[in-house]
Amino acid sequence: MSNLSKLRKKSFQLLEGDIYQSLIAKHINSLLIALILANVAAVIIESDCDISRQYSTQFALFEIISVFIFSIEYLVRVWACIEGKRFKHHSSLEARLRYMISPIAVIDLIAIAPFFISFFIMIDLRYLRLLRVLRLLKLMHYFKGFNIFLTVIVKELKNIAAAIMVMMFLIVIAASLMYTLESEAQPEVFGNILHSLWWAVVTMTTVGYGDVTPVTILGKVVATIIMLIGVGLVALPTAMLAARFGEELRERKRNLDAEVKDVLSDGLIDGDEYRELKEITEKLELRPEDLEETITFLKKGPYGGKCPHCGKYPLARKKLPTKE
């Protein structure tokens, strides 16, 4: 293996590998997370005109440094992505192109693109700040819960879409009813169905700003019914996601249990098998602790799975890989 290949593999491990297995990787990822949060904080503070004018030089320098670091990170990720197992059957060019159009890589590109585009095209400062705030999405690299959450949304998309469609139908019906009942009493706020939609939306979503309220008896009765329907209807998608999220985690842990049971069929876990289980755990986007807990539970013996002398788990025929 050439020095360049070794460097690429090491870069991939530091940025895309299991950060819990390398102290250097953990520090690098922690610094990148801190930089992302600092960027968002800078955008928020810079939106104050007085502060922005007073510290314009410092903000500009911080932006240049941030974009430089994010650009290096993006280029290294694109360069090293061919080390990933999902691209092992693709050529280097094809692997990099596939990675570049993946959602997470597009987010990384959006984080740096506005800075370079602003040199050639005038961008309204408000929209430029909005695009910089999108750097928050880069945190998806570092928190596996984001990916599980997206998986849950995709799996429940049809049900959520159905719930939203029902809500939209009821909003239109509610707006039409209130226009019919309140247009004569309050023509300035219920003069047409388009104006009534504002009231219907804030009422159905239980926001209730109070700037538009019915004044007729019949209007108040209908509004009460709509409010009660809105309480249950708005909570429905949330309940769907919460239930599916828990089910998804349980399903992934069951899959991990099945893999560990298969490996433990001979009563032992050697070094290669342990590394394979760690890769499966990472693929399932579970914590390393979940693997250890599963192994401990499935290998409980007279001492609870632990050696009575050293307190370690007697899992391997040979030495297991240790943290770097």
Query: How do residues 288-314 score in pLDDT, each as one tens digit?
Result: 778 888 887 776 644 344 443 344 444
Distance from CA of residue 175 to its chain's centroid? 35
Q: How confident is the model at residue 126 (pLDDT cuts 50, 70, 90)?
A: low
Domain residue spans in the chain?
3-142, 157-243
**How far is 209 from 273, CA to CA, in rounded Å?**
59
The CATH superfamily label for domain 3-142 reads Voltage-gated potassium channels. Chain C (1.20.120.350)
CATH of 157-243, one of 3.40.190.10, 1.10.287.70, 3.90.850.10, 1.10.357.10: 1.10.287.70
pLDDT given at position 314: 46
**How far is 182 from 200, CA to CA, in rounded Å?**
13
What residue has token string 């987010």?
A: 107
In this structure, are residues 291 and 278 in contact, taking their beta carbons and an 8 Å threshold? yes
Burial class (CB in 10 A: 0-12, 13-18, 19+), 186: buried
Distance from CA of residue 57 to its chain's centroid? 33
The CA-atom distances, in angstroms, between 160 and each of 105, 173, 182, 201, 225 are: 27, 20, 32, 18, 23
In this structure, are residues 40 and 133 in contact, taking their beta carbons and an 8 Å threshold? yes
Residue 178: how many CB atoms within 10 A of its CB? 27
Q: How confident is the model at residue 127 (pLDDT cuts 50, 70, 90)?
A: low
Q: How confident is the model at residue 30 (pLDDT cuts 50, 70, 90)?
A: confident
pLDDT given at position 70: 92
pLDDT given at position 125: 61
**How far is 72 from 64, CA to CA, in rounded Å?**
12
Q: Highest mean pLDDT: which of 206-215, 218-227, 285-294?
A: 218-227
Question: pLDDT, tens digit, for every residue of 184-197?
Answer: 888 888 888 988 88
What residue has token string 């999902």?
A: 86
pLDDT given at position 303: 39
pLDDT given at position 236: 80
Q: What is the SS3 string spanning the chain?
A: CCHHHHHHHHHHHHHHCCHHHCHHHHHHHHHHHHHHHHHHHHHHHHCCHHHHHHCHHHHHHHHHHHHHHHHHHHHHHHHHHHHCHHHCCCCHHHHHHHHHCCHHHHHHHHHHHHHHHCCCCCCCHHHHHHHHHHHHHHHHHCCHHHHHHHHHHHHCHHHHHHHHHHHHHHHHHHHHHHHHHHCCCCCCCCCCHHHHHHHHHHHHCCCCCCCCCCCCHHHHHHHHHHHHHHHHHHHHHHHHHHHHHHHHHHHHHHHHHHHHHHHHHHCCCCHHHHHHHHHHHHHCCCCHHHHHHHHHHHCCCCCCCCCCCCCCCCCCCCCCCCCC
Q: Which two tokens stand for residue 54?
A: 């007073």
Q: How confident is the model at residue 19 (pLDDT cuts 50, 70, 90)?
A: low
Q: Which two tokens stand for residue 95?
A: 């692997």
**How far is 210 from 203, CA to CA, in rounded Å?**
9
